[in-house]
A and B are shown apart, each in its own frame.
Chain A
Amino acid sequence: MTEDAGMHTADGRPVIGIVGRDVPALLVAGAGAQPFRIPPADLRTGDTGLDDAYAVMGRAVDRAAAAVLAAVLSGELDHLSGILISHDSEGSLRLFYTLQELHRRGRTAVPVHLVDQVHLARESTVRFNTGQLSAMWDVVSDWTSTSITSESLESSRAELAELRVVLEQLRMDRHSGRVSGVAALRGYRAAATVAPAEAIGLLQRDRHDRPEHDDVRIPMFLTGSAPLGDDLYLAIEEAGMLIVGEDHDWGDPILSDRLPETIDPDRNALLRELALARLNGAPASASSSMASRAHATRTAIVASGARALLSVVRPHDEAPAWDWHHQSAQAGVPGVMVRGDAADDPAQVVEAVTSLRASVGAAS
């Protein structure tokens, strides 16, 4: 985490941290800052930083949120001008309350702001979310001491649009078996953590280096908790399955939140468009109905050509376990859920993958 964040203070631009998918990077970039979506480290119990975070937040919280708190408490994110936190899950909300209180008490250096995007498909929700984005606009302008203008937004939009073209290509290559799941995961992470031009360079270099042959592993769709680091993907793919799609917020759903095609000069209209873009994007587990998740999973499985469904659900990440009943029933492919402490144990995940491979073999 430190390496990614540190790289982008060198060019003199302020860096603003982001937690969650609901914060539009466009507004951050439009305020002259580098958006840096904070990737939670895969800290485990016994890690001093994680234990410190649990001591403040309590242990009954998703480890992803505690890992971000641990990073803040360690001081490694002190160079950030601020952190924008999505209301995309209970873990993120608790992280916000905690960081706000710690900052108020003078225990942390970095200011935080909650981007309270809620998620029902209603006009009242769109109005509220638009107002929240307007507040975010003012906050990031204040943090960077830079006014957001139509010109700055258009420049940022063009950069982000170019990056999305490369990410779309990555997704298509992945569906055709030419890109591994872990490579895709790293690509999405690069896009969210480094400057667009640099991310494009990384993605294009990676594309150039790909092997000629198609992957012969069984294509699989991953649902459940967003992974911490690469280890989960590596374990699954080393066990003989290829992750061709996922519905967590560090993967394919990033592309489902559309960028505006042009910058509306009317601030409120633009913010409304951004609010709608997220509301119309792929449903995230913690903020969506079970029905919408099951439908989205089925659609993504068909689109990606997946032949199996695996759900890996960390302790204290409540929502995905609720989704599973309908997801698995409607998936149309064999599925397995690994939940709780087992989800943190690579051996048990591999065991589930092995059993899933056998189910796919029996079904074909």
Chain B
Amino acid sequence: MTRLASASAALSHQREWFQQLRAAVADGEKYALVNADAPQEILRAMDIPYVVNQWWASIVTAKQVAAQSLAVVAASGYPDDSRQYDVLALGSRGLDPDQAPWGGLPKPDFVIAELSGDATGKVFEAWTDDPSIGYFAYERTAAITPDGPWWELAPRSWERVFGHDRIALMADENRLLIDFLEERTGRTFQLSKLHEVMELINEQEEFNRQTRDAVAAARPTPVRVSDTIPAVMIPQWHRGSQWGRDAAKNLRDEVTTLVDSGAAVVDAERTRLMWVGRGLWGDTSMYQRFEDELGAVFVWSMYLAIAADGYIRYGDDAIETLAARFVGITDLLYAPPVAPAWYVKEARGHGVDGVVHLVADDVPGASFITLALEEAGIPVLEIRASNADPRTLDLAAIEESMTRFIESIQADA
């Protein structure tokens, strides 16, 4: 089975886009580095280029310069064992030019982040050691218990999921960000442009929802998770653009065509697996072996699923609607009781036989996700590792434990 055309197209587009961004910055264009959990739509509406911190971290990791980037962080006087994924971009700025991926990350003019955890704010503040870089922070408020299944309520009844006060605070901060950007770029924010951006995003995520539903219903699974991740995530980094919307549509069309044609990742699919947590997809050979030798295939990762369920918001006030999209986006993935119920819903929807749960250091409530899945009768293998620091990864041990896990599921089947 060949790679999805949508994935190849997305990867190709991203390289081209990044070189265009580098060229624009070299010509004096101002750009932002923004953390994935902070709203990017205002930047899009103001035509301010931006790079998403986590995307760049994935490039640094894929190009195997994460350790060197962390060494740069340590040499700057900051810890290299804290918020490692968040800090890779900062460290990568100090790489030798011949090491820097894709020609290197240009110096941003401003950085934007939500104050998650104890140190994310400090990671982004560290950028301002260069006083020419501005920094805007969003507060990170805590999850509340939703008044029902959040994936059904969030698109239109978001206050029942996130609460009025949290959304009002973030809406205020959206307005402050607009002031911050107008002051620093000389550009003028237009609300009508933000409305257009929000509409494009809803269209994009509706396509993702259709793709997710098609994958969930298909037996055997027609696409690899390692393919859907770039095909979903790269357009996600371009949310609010026509290209992002069209890329999501193309993915939907490609996947439904594959489903209709009876395509299969594994012809004799024996075991359907779900990957919970951040990915360890840098080396796909391990997953290939699971497919070839055990007939086991990963049918789910959070990237497509959260795009399908987490982002769609329909509202008249674009500033508030944007706040309702972002105020709890990370909680949906990690905080109990919000997150565990969703994983169970997704596991059942995809008919998985088992779950591999990568438990990272910086997420709350992981044990309750495992517990909820197990209570639903779904076996779970927990892996404790950082996907950012190759120094802590023992892929051989992970592969061995996953092999035993799959074999145990198959023995019980």
B9 at the interface (CB under 8 A from A): no
Q: How large is the interface on A (under 10, 10 to 19, 20 to 34, 35 or more residues)?
A: 35 or more
B176 at the interface (CB under 8 A from A): yes
A140 vs chain B, min Cβ distance (A): 18
- Chain B residues, CB < 8 A from A339: 79
Which residues 64-111 of A have a CB within 8 angstroms of B?
A: 87, 89-91, 93-94, 96-98, 100-101, 104
- Chain A residues, CB < 8 A from B83: 318
A249 vs chain B, min Cβ distance (A): 13
Query: Are the CB atoms of B365 and A322 closer together than 8 Å?
Result: no
Query: Are the CB atoms of A60 and B336 closer together than 8 Å?
Result: no
B91 vs chain A, min Cβ distance (A): 14
Query: Are the CB atoms of B140 and A323 closer together than 8 Å?
Result: no
A325 at the interface (CB under 8 A from B): yes
Query: Are the CB atoms of B336 and A100 closer together than 8 Å?
Result: yes
- Chain A residues, CB < 8 A from B126: 290, 322
- Cα-based distance from A93 to B144 in the complex (angstroms): 12
- Chain A residues, CB < 8 A from B142: 87, 93, 96, 114, 116
- Cα-based distance from A125 to B169 in the complex (angstroms): 7
Which residue of the partner chain, among A56, A58, A119, A319, contacts B122 with CB atoms under 8 Å? A319
Query: Are the CB atoms of B139 and A128 closer together than 8 Å?
Result: yes
Residues of A with Cβ closer than 8 Å to B?
Answer: 55-58, 60, 87, 89-91, 93-94, 96-98, 100-101, 104, 114, 116, 118-120, 122-125, 127-128, 131-132, 285-287, 289-291, 316-319, 321-325, 339
B134 vs chain A, min Cβ distance (A): 14
Query: Are the CB atoms of A289 and B362 closer together than 8 Å?
Result: no
Which residues 153-185 of B have a CB within 8 angstroms of A?
A: 165-166, 168-169, 172-173, 176
One of B112-120, B221-229, B240-248 contacting the partner = B112-120
Summed over the interface, the residue pairs from A and B with CB atoms below 8 Å come to a total of 113
- Cα-based distance from A287 to B166 in the complex (angstroms): 18
Which residue of the partner chain, among A104, A116, A132, A285, contacts B118 with CB atoms under 8 Å? A285
Query: Are the CB atoms of B367 and A291 closer together than 8 Å?
Result: no
B320 vs chain A, min Cβ distance (A): 13
Nearest residue (CB) in A for B145 is A100
Query: Are the CB atoms of A94 and B118 closer together than 8 Å?
Result: no
Nearest residue (CB) in B for A329 is B77
Which residue of the partner chain, among A89, A122, A289, contacts B125 with CB atoms under 8 Å? A289
Binary A-proximity of B349-371 (CB < 8 A = 1, otherwise 0): 00000000001011011111000
Query: Are the CB atoms of A125 and B139 closer together than 8 Å?
Result: yes
B137 at the interface (CB under 8 A from A): yes
A252 vs chain B, min Cβ distance (A): 20
27 pairs, CB–CB < 8 Å, chain A vs chain B: A55-B367, A56-B367, A58-B367, A60-B362, A87-B141, A93-B142, A93-B364, A94-B364, A96-B142, A97-B335, A97-B336, A97-B368, A100-B337, A118-B115, A118-B140, A122-B172, A122-B176, A124-B139, A124-B172, A125-B139, A128-B168, A285-B118, A290-B122, A290-B125, A319-B118, A321-B82, A325-B77
Binary A-proximity of B242-281 (CB < 8 A = 1, otherwise 0): 0000000000000000000000000000000000000000
Q: Which of A124, A132, A318 has the most CB of B within 10 A?
A: A318
- Chain B residues, CB < 8 A from A97: 143, 335-336, 364-365, 368
Query: Are the CB atoms of A318 and B82 closer together than 8 Å?
Result: yes
- Chain B residues, CB < 8 A from A87: 141-142
A223 vs chain B, min Cβ distance (A): 14
Query: Are the CB atoms of B366 and A319 closer together than 8 Å?
Result: no
Q: How large is the interface on B (under 10, 10 to 19, 20 to 34, 35 or more residues)?
A: 35 or more
Query: Are the CB atoms of B365 and A120 closer together than 8 Å?
Result: no
- Chain A residues, CB < 8 A from B366: 58
Query: Are the CB atoms of B118 and A89 closer together than 8 Å?
Result: yes
Binary A-proximity of B215-241 (CB < 8 A = 1, otherwise 0): 000000000000000000000000000
Which residue of the partner chain, among A56, A93, A128, A324, contacts B165 with CB atoms under 8 Å? A128
A97 vs chain B, min Cβ distance (A): 5
Known: A118-B141, A321-B78, A325-B76. 5 other contacts (CB 8 A): A87-B142, A128-B168, A291-B125, A318-B117, A322-B123
B315 at the interface (CB under 8 A from A): no
B18 vs chain A, min Cβ distance (A): 29
- Chain B residues, CB < 8 A from A91: 118
- Cα-based distance from A316 to B362 in the complex (angstroms): 9
Which residues 59-85 of B have a CB within 8 angstroms of A?
A: 76-79, 82-83
B106 at the interface (CB under 8 A from A): no
- Chain A residues, CB < 8 A from B368: 97-98, 101
Which residues 341-397 of B have a CB within 8 angstroms of A?
A: 359, 361-362, 364-368
- Chain B residues, CB < 8 A from A100: 145, 336-337
Q: Which of B119, B122, B142, B173 has the most CB of A within 10 A?
A: B122
B101 at the interface (CB under 8 A from A): no
- Cα-based distance from A318 to B83 in the complex (angstroms): 8
Answer whether A318 and B169 are a contact pair too, CB < 8 Å, given A98-B365, A128-B139, A291-B125: no
- Cα-based distance from A290 to B76 in the complex (angstroms): 14
Which residue of the partner chain, among B79, B137, B140, B336, contacts A322 with CB atoms under 8 Å? B79
Query: Are the CB atoms of A289 and B121 closer together than 8 Å?
Result: yes
Which residue of the partner chain, among A93, A94, A124, A319, contacts B119 with CB atoms under 8 Å? A319
Which residues 88-119 of B have a CB within 8 angstroms of A?
A: 115, 117-119
Q: Which of A104, A291, A325 has the most CB of B within 10 A?
A: A325
Query: Are the CB atoms of B137 and A120 closer together than 8 Å?
Result: yes
Of all A-B residue pairs in the complex, the 4 with the closest CB atoms, nearest first, are: A124-B172, A325-B77, A60-B361, A322-B122
B201 vs chain A, min Cβ distance (A): 24
- Chain A residues, CB < 8 A from B165: 128, 131-132
- Chain B residues, CB < 8 A from A120: 115, 137, 139
B60 vs chain A, min Cβ distance (A): 20
Query: Are the CB atoms of B337 and A318 closer together than 8 Å?
Result: no
